[in-house]
Amino acid sequence: MNAIEQMQQELQILEEHSNLRSLPALTHEGRYVEAHGRRMLNLSSNDYLGLAADRQLREEFLQGLTADSFLPTSSSSRLLTGNFSIYDELEQTLAGLFGTEAALVFNSGYHANTGILPAVSDAHTLILADKLVHASLIDGIRLSAARCIRYRHNDLKQLERLLTENHSAYRQVIIVTESLFSMDGDAADLKELVRLKQAYDNVLLYVDEAHAFGVRGERGLGYAEECGCIGEIDFLVGTFGKAAASAGAYIVCRRAIREYLVNRMRTFIFTTALPPVNIAWTLFIVRKLTGFQARRMHLERISSMLRNALTEKGYACPSTSHIVPMIAGASADAILKAEALQRHGFYALPVRPPTVPEGTSRIRFSLTADITEEEVEELIKHIG
């Protein structure tokens, strides 16, 4: 069998297991998407605050743009000629908001997570990672020289045991977790993680806030803000492609870590920096972030309505956030349930292995602040 035939055979197997993926053809219209000739409320986007669908925000931003300030490319890595001043402005704004010594901006969360761990780890590093961390973190771990042990999801007793048994054999140990988990919508116990790490002087903590930045905390800075432990997290990472309605990612950290990353992080050094106009839009949103408290409160209200309804209907619902999984089990069942909801005008999508563990295929409801209580009530009526 040649290489192409081998690929075709593997695709066939994916199809037989209902796990074949394809790019959906859809068009967007604010909160709605149109696919298969049907207009549906989008329940699958990461536009958690509804900012991407908010035309008025874009109009306001465009008013401040001119041909001189609309810079669609940086034409270079930041270390060469791509370091436009808007980058520094965004980083200073982030460091100011978080109250940290420094911040550094990356092209995406994927770049951040695949770049930071390889940069700061060596063969004398042990990484202890939650079993459910995002693929980008797994890839970062794979690219690093560190040894890695995965602990059971949110099992901090097991993590504590692993720390006790292993910390002295390594130069440093890095605990890696998400704050709100992308597929289950549950939260890590950040305060307890900080307590565990503080028991040792060679343990560092890495937290990915991709799904919490903008959404959680009084000022929308994330779950670490809500838990009151921003300053205790060594690598506090977040993305701009979700609630912040933009693209890119950040770390807020100590000055030394920022400087080290600028010198060692391959996914920062060897890539063309994001377009300055994109950074300007991110900055425009970040400056408004603290003011979106009403949207955050509404999002929590509709999320708890949906979580409670799923529990009442007998679904095990691990979520404590706006990411609400409806676990079907088999991929074929998840697909059928998603199709039924789509027929009723709700764009819900199945999430299948390898994104989630085998046997836990689900619909991942991803609620956004521009969805009304009435729409959630209507959705609940159609959940079987």
**Strand order across the beta sheet in which 172-178 lies:** 102-106, 249-253, 235-239, 203-208, 172-178, 125-130, 147-151
**242, 298, 322, 337: the active-site residue:** 242
With binding defined as CB under 6 A, does residue 185 bind ligand PMP? no
With binding defined as CB under 6 A, does residue 151 bind ligand PMP? no
Kindly tell me the burial class for residue 380, based on how many C-beta atoms sit within 10 Å of its own C-beta (0-12, 13-18, 19 or more). middle
With binding defined as CB under 6 A, does residue 371 bind ligand PMP? no
With binding defined as CB under 6 A, does residue 182 bind ligand PMP? yes
Q: Measure Cα distances from 75 to 86, 107, 112, 270, 382 in Å.
A: 15, 14, 20, 12, 50
Residue 89 is among the residues annotated as catalytic for this protein: no
Stretch that binds ligand PMP, among 103-111, 115-123, 185-193, 336-344 (CB under 6 A): 103-111
Output the six-digit token pair for 149.
């042990």
Per-position x/- string for 28-67, each x denoting binding to ligand PMP as judged by CB under 6 A, each - no binding: ----------------------------------------
**91, 208, 209, 226: the active-site residue:** 208
* Cβ contact 222:238 at 8 Å: yes
With binding defined as CB under 6 A, does residue 178 bind ligand PMP? yes
Closest CA to 173 of 184, 185, 182, 164: 164
Nearest to ligand PMP of 309, 360 (CB atom)? 360
Per-position x/- string for 246-285, each x denoting binding to ligand PMP as judged by CB under 6 A, each - no binding: ---x------------------------------------
DSSP 273: P
Per-position x/- string for 208-247, each x denoting binding to ligand PMP as judged by CB under 6 A, each - no binding: x-x----------------------------x-x------
Closest CA to 33 of 354, 355, 342, 369: 342
* Cβ contact 274:248 at 8 Å: yes
Closest CA to 306 of 286, 294, 320: 320
Residue 211 is among the residues annotated as catalytic for this protein: yes
Footprint on this chain of ligand PMP (rule: CB under 6 A)? 108-110, 113, 134, 136, 178, 182, 208, 210, 239, 241, 249
Residues with catalytic roles: 46, 134, 178, 182, 208, 211, 242
